[in-house]
Copies of this chain bind each other. A is one copy, B any other.
């Protein structure tokens, strides 16, 4: 019962169609909450049936019609109730660590390559986050309550990327030693960083 709440929260901002929500979940919100359009449409149907949102058909020329959903008083009440409930820490599923745990038995090169790929990914992410921060939150001291939540989300992202980048670098060094046990590495065909 969590995607539904994420949708309701997004609708607090303004009424949106499933398509709008899906796009949002692909961008900013999607950094820490992934959802496909199928999931979103499904949840919208359920929320509408439960009376938490109200969908209004909007006829459009030169484009498919949209169904724009707004949160209802009942939806707001549901959200209020949910906020009072306890949130369990998210259960991580870090495949990369599973591969790491297989280290003695599988290709060290493959695992190394994976960590390198991840390092690049997180570096790019960090750059993106910092661009958003510079563009939208240049003065974090003076923010509305509403924006403070978004700001803190971004801050979590930035701190997380920093620590992940540090971990990747450490991991590369630690795994790398396995390849050259205690002497200088011989030249290799593929050069890395």
A-to-B contact residues, CB < 8 Å: 2, 5-6, 9-10, 12, 29, 31-34, 76, 79-80, 83-84, 86-108, 110-111, 114, 117-118, 121-122, 140, 144-146, 148-153, 155-156, 159-160, 162-164, 166-167, 170-171, 174-175, 178
Contacts and interface: CB of A to CB of B under 8 A. Distances in A.
A157 to B, nearest CB: 9
- Most B CB contacts (10 A, CB to CB) among A10, A12, A105, A178 go to A105
29 contacts: A2-B95, A5-B98, A9-B102, A12-B102, A12-B104, A12-B105, A33-B92, A34-B92, A34-B93, A76-B105, A79-B105, A80-B106, A83-B106, A84-B107, A86-B117, A87-B114, A88-B95, A97-B149, A100-B153, A101-B153, A104-B145, A145-B178, A148-B178, A152-B167, A152-B175, A155-B171, A159-B166, A160-B160, A160-B164
Within the oligomer, what is the number of copies of this chain? 2
